């Protein structure tokens, strides 16, 4: 009798173990399906819900909760995108509205320069003209930023020989370089170096970097080009004072300023805009220190 009881208990235990194993296999299979569905949902920017048929009620409840959270994230994402578009449009509208009166103010100030003013009046006029120019520069930066961030269309890239391009840029900006008391240190390879870029956007990148160097350089402007199988790197830099005051981690952030006192009067968007312009050309820009020199490295993928 005991033998049959033991056998019955053994069979029941075997059935229970088999049931638990099957249950575990089913649960693991369902979890795998959920993971795969979550991966697809993430790849689709969370624009879809989990699409799984589960054999476990607890897992079905979890999947339902996940879908509710995904729906909530969709709403938050939509609200954030709408708020961003509204902010960009507001910045663009404000910048555009400020341009007209600023143009009038600058025109009137230029007319006053032809008038017979007292030394005190000329001093006030000079201060007003400089402040108007600073304000115009800030408005232009905000306007350019709003245009760049709202324009998602791909830019047209062409094959550019970067050596004559940079040589021409240096010649065109000779006056600015001389006024900034900068001594150019140029190192170009003798051969042609071709990149895929947009000439107009690239020119704006170098204008922004040059403007930054004019403000903060100790007296030099370093420009070099290196080419390898990995791509082309254009290095632009300068010697700096108070290196510890420059935060490389945030140097490309919006409104970042090395000059915390904002004595230059800029909006602090130049490097951020340069980064956006590089990304639109499928390139990248990074910053690094080498001793007392700050370098900006512009990297383009290998020419096609």
Higher-confidence residue of 265 and 254: namely 254
- CATH, domain 79-150, list 3.40.50.11270, 1.10.287.130, 2.140.10.10, 1.10.10.10: 1.10.287.130
- The count of other CB atoms within 10 Å of the CB of residue 137 is 15
Taking the CA atoms of residue 151, residue 152, residue 156 and residue 161 in that order, the dihedral angle to the nearest 10 degrees is: 80
Alpha-carbon separation of residue 266 from 132, 136, 167, 215 (angstroms)? 12, 10, 27, 10
pLDDT, tens only, 68-112: 888 888 888 888 888 877 777 777 777 777 777 888 888 888 888
Per-residue pLDDT band for 224 (boundaries 50, 70, 90) equals very high
- Decide if domain 158-301 falls under CATH 3.20.20.140: no
d(CA 304, CA 52): 44
Is the pLDDT assigned to residue 223 strictly greater than 80?
Answer: yes
Residues 230-253: pLDDT tens digits? Answer: 889 999 999 888 778 888 888 888
Q: Are strands 194-197 and 183-187 parallel, antiparallel or unpaired?
A: unpaired
Is 287 in contact with 248 (CB distance < 8 Å)? Answer: yes
Distance CA 20, CA 17 (A): 5
How would residue 59 be classed by pLDDT, with cut points 50, 70 and 90? confident
Shared fold status for 79-150 and 158-301: no
pLDDT of 162 over the 80 cut: yes
For residue 90, give both structure tokens. 């507001």
Q: What is the pLDDT of residue 262?
A: 45
Q: Which residue has the tokens 């033998």?
A: 3
Read off the pLDDT band of 259 (50, 70, 90). low
Indicate the domain borders of the chain.
79-150, 158-301
If one compares 230 and 200, the residue with the highest pLDDT of the two is: 200
Cβ pair 212, 271 in contact under 8 A: yes
């Amino acid at each position: 009798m005991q033998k049959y009881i033991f056998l019955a208990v053994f069979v029941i235990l075997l059935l229970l173990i088999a049931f638990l194993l099957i249950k575990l296999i089913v649960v693991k299979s369902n979890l795998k399906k959920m993971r795969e569905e979550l991966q697809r949902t993430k790849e689709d920017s969370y624009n879809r819900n989990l699409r799984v048929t589960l054999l476990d009620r607890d897992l079905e409840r979890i999947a339902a909760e996940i879908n509710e959270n995904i729906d909530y994230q969709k709403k938050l994402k939509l609200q954030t995108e709408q708020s961003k578009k509204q902010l960009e449009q507001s910045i663009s509208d404000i910048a555009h509205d400020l341009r007209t009166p600023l143009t009038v103010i600058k025109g009137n100030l230029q007319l006053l320069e032809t008038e017979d003013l007292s030394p005190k009046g000329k001093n006030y006029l000079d201060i007003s003209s400089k402040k108007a120019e600073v304000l115009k520069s800030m408005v232009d930066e905000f306007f350019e930023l709003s245009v760049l961030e709202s324009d998602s269309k791909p830019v047209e890239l062409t094959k550019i020989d970067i050596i004559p391009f940079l040589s021409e840029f240096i010649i065109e900006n000779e006056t600015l370089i001389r006024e900034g008391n900068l001594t150019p240190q140029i190192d170009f390879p003798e051969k042609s170096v071709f990149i895929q870029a947009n000439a107009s956007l690239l020119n704006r990148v170098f204008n922004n970097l040059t403007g930054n160097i004019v403000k903060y350089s100790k007296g030099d402007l370093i420009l070099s080009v290196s080419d390898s199988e990995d791509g082309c790197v254009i290095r632009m830099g300068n010697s700096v004072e108070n290196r510890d005051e420059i935060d490389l981690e945030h140097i490309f952030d919006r409104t970042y300023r090395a000059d915390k006192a904002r004595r230059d009067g800029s909006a602090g968007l130049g490097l951020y805009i340069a980064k956006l312009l590089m990304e639109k050309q499928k390139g990248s820009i990074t910053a690094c220190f080498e001793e007392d020199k700050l370098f900006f490295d512009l990297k383009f993928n290998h020419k096609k």
